[in-house]
Structure formats: structure tokens, C-alpha cells
Amino acid sequence: MTYQQTVDYLFTRLPMFSRIGAAAIKKDITNTIKLCEALGNPHKKFKSIHIAGTNGKGSTSHMLASVLQTAGYTTGLYTSPHLYDFRERIKLNGKMCEPEFVVDFTRKILSLIDEIEPSFFEITVAMAFEYFAQQHVDVAIIETGLGGRLDSTNIITPELSVITNIGWDHMQMLGNTLDAIAFEKAGIIKENVPVVIGETQDETKAVFGQKANESNAPIVFADDMKYVDAFSFEDGYLKIVVADRRKDEKPTYHLDLTGLYQTKNLLTVLEAVHQLQLQGWKIEEKHVKEALQHTKKNTGLHGRWEVIQQRPKIVLDVAHNVDGMKLVMEQLEFETYHQLHIIIGMVKDKEIDQVLKLLPHHANYYFTKAQIPRALPEKELLVQAETLGLSGKSFADVNTALQEVRTHAKPNDLVLICGSVFLIAEVKL
């Protein structure tokens, strides 16, 4: 098979959550264990850092990967989903794995796929572990999929566990209360392995504390240790002054990820770095500052308040749940524009009304959908939005909507495209 034939096979042969939703999820790690045993347990051949959370785990993973590779470590990075190329899921020092590796790996396990019928995600996890083992990485950053406890990635024993936050998403699989969701995410906490929690929440703090205590895992809450003293937007960077309650100093960081919500992720990353330093990892402050200023260049991260055009300013953001959209709405308050245009498409299994209620009434709306089975039809989204006081038109795909915006938007307008990772992936840059 060619690379394209291989990827087409993976997309169509295997159950894929991004396409069909919960039916693709297998709530145990048996298949991942079988796959990795057949491969000689590659996940035991490299050091790792495990990252979970409702929002921010992608940005946190990429920032931490940037720090480690800037410090001189050969760094693997496994994240999901991808935006433009399947190989974005598996990177080495910011470079995607080779097409030939994807082909060879898939060919090698074809008979096993027929035997155990794994999901798409289970295959990609095993593929990433095999690649990192083959490349002899110093460390791999491993982002969970949906949860933690029963996530396919949860067969690793990392050097450090990180949980960014807990919010309302994937409740049909993780639970209908924040403490239930936290219980699932807390499943990545391992025996004697330190864990960093990004955001302290009353509903979840005890859940994490209990799991950490049971596992004899040292636990630290990043926002207990550090806080943002000041921030501003300067010369294309988000400038953040951070205070550490353990030190009498306030260093300044310049982030090329300019979404205001990155202030929370930054505290998580800085505390994770501190914990790694305590373990003996050679990471200097100059490495951290340089890495955060070049995360996009070093790791290829896209879709986090990503400005793809000026005049009119067009921004892509993968915000798709209540907590994520709240942060994007806060970001809008710092923007100056004449008219706001919002192109939005969502998938069926999200809290659609709750997200729509957060959106401003003064914007012009362009309702659309990603080209996947899970996508909510654009006309249904339009009807739901109209009942909440939002008005606009519907479009069959995001690029048709964007073309319409470009015919009407003035140079000093702002265009925001959001609502689904899969919608952002279809924007033609």
C-alpha cells in the first residue's frame, strides 16, 4: 500500500471516534495491551510524561515538548486529533513521523487488526509507542484521548502526570458531574509518580487528592504555587509576568500562542518543568523562555487563536465545549474591531445550546458543518441558534461560509471560525 492508501485504510477500516462518536470507544485498554505485547511492549523502552484534561492539554503538551527539545532532549509528542495530516499525531522534535513508517507499521499488524478489531485510536497509540521506541527518544509527551483511567494511552508509567483541568465535555462517556469526570482523568495518576494539577476546583480537588494519596503520588496544584501577575499583548506575543509563591522573583514570558487562555496553561507548564527539574532534568530558565516564544515553530501547533489573515483579521480556534468557548469569548473582549463575524459548526454530541448561549448577539453568524458523520447539520444548528437570539445564514461547508464572509467583511472587521476541531481542519489556508 502507498501512504495514502494506508491512511485511507486506517480511516475507513477502523472505528474512529471523530467520525462516528461514542460507538468507536472501547472502555478498556485490553486491545492496546495486546497490540503492544505483539510489538514487544515499546512503551516500556522510553521515558514519558502523561497529560490529561478537558481543555488545554493539547497546548500544554506542545509547550512542554518545545521546552524539552529546546533543552536538548530528543522529544516525542503524541496528540490527537490531527488537523491537516494524520502524521501530526506522532512527532519527533516537532517533525512528523515518516510516511514510510506509517505504511510499514500498518502492514506489519494487518493480521492482528483482523484478529482483535481495534479502534483507530488504539492503533495510533500503539503506532506512536513503536515509533518513539524505534527513534530512541529521551522522553515522549503523551496526550490522552478522552478520559484517562480507560484511555488507550494509560498503559504507560510516566515520569510525571499532568492534568490541566476538569470541565463539561464527553459527559456521555465520562460522567455527568465534575467529580465523576475528575475520577476518570485521575486514572492517569500512577504509583509514586508526581502529578501536577493545572487548575484547583472545589468539586475536583478531593478526588485528585484521594487518588494521589492511594497511589503515594506527590501532588501539586500549579495555581497554588504560581499566579499571573500581569499580562499584555505586544508585537504578536502574549506577554505574561508570573509570580511564584516559593520565590521572590517575577519572570516574564513571551508566548507565540496568543490566546488569553494560555495564561492558565502556562502555569501548568511551568510547574511541570519545576517538577522535572526536581527529578534531575537539565532544563534552564533560558530554555523555557526561548521555547515558549517559539512553540508553534518548534512543534507545529495550529488552531489555538491562530491568526491566518489580517484586514480583515481571520482567527481559527478549536474551542468546542462550554469551558473552551467561555475563554474564547473572554479573548474577544480584548479585540478591537468594527464588526464581528462568527463561522461556527459543531458535532451532535456536544452541549450545543450551552455553547450557543455564550455567543454574542451582535455578531453576524455563518452556520456550517464539518464533513464528518458526527457533524450537526448546518440548518439544524441555525434553528437552534435562532431560538437563542442569534441570527445568520447556513452554509454546506466552512470554505463556502468563509468565501461569503470575505465578500462582506470590511478591513477592520474580525472573523472567528470555531466550534469543532474538524471544522478548523477543513479551512483552506
* The residue to which cell 447539520 is assigned: 377
User: Residue 270's pLDDT is what?
Assistant: 98
Give the helix, strand, coil percentages of the chain, each rounded to 5.
45, 20, 40
User: Residue 18's pLDDT is what?
Assistant: 47
Structural domain contains residue 269? no
User: Residue 24's pLDDT is what?
Assistant: 45
Structural domain contains residue 49? yes
What is the distance between the alpha carbons of residues 60 and 323, in angstroms, rounded to a whole number?
A: 16
What is the secondary structure of 96-129 as a DSSP string?
Answer: EPPHHHHHHHHHHTHHHHHHH---HHHHHHHHHH
Structural domain contains residue 179? yes
Structural domain contains residue 282? no
Alpha helical stretches, state H, 135-192: 171-174, 178-185
What is the distance between the alpha carbons of residues 179 and 184, in angstroms, rounded to a whole number?
A: 9
Of 202, 225, 248, the one marking the end of a domain is 225
User: Residue 15's pLDDT is what?
Assistant: 62
Could you tell me the three cell numbers for 296? 508553534
Structural domain contains residue 219? yes
Amino acid at 81: P
User: Residue 46's pLDDT is what?
Assistant: 98
pLDDT averaged over 10-residue windows placed end to end, the chain, 429 residues = 94 64 63 97 98 94 98 98 95 98 97 92 96 98 90 97 80 68 94 96 93 98 96 95 94 96 97 98 98 98 95 95 93 96 92 95 97 94 98 98 97 97 93
Q: Are residues 11 and 152 in the same domain?
A: yes
Amino acid at 399: N
Of 225, 256, 276, the one marking the end of a domain is 225
Structural domain contains residue 296? no
Question: Which CATH number does the domain housing residue 402 bear?
Answer: 3.90.190.20
3-class secondary-structure state, position 222? helix
Task: Report whether the peptide linkage leading into residue 312 is cis, meaning its omega lies within 30 degrees of zero.
Answer: yes
User: Residue 25's pLDDT is what?
Assistant: 52
Q: Is the dihedral of CA 287, 288, 294, 297 positive or negative?
A: positive
User: Residue 14's pLDDT is what?
Assistant: 78
User: Residue 177's pLDDT is what?
Assistant: 86
Structural domain contains residue 244? no
User: Residue 429's pLDDT is what?
Assistant: 81
Of 181, 209, 225, the one marking the end of a domain is 225
Question: Which CATH number does the domain housing residue 139 bear?
Answer: 3.40.1190.10
Q: Is the dihedral of CA 111, 117, 123, 125 positive or negative?
A: negative
Q: State the residue range of the domain holding 357.
A: 306-425
Domain count, the chain: 2
Structural domain contains residue 326? yes
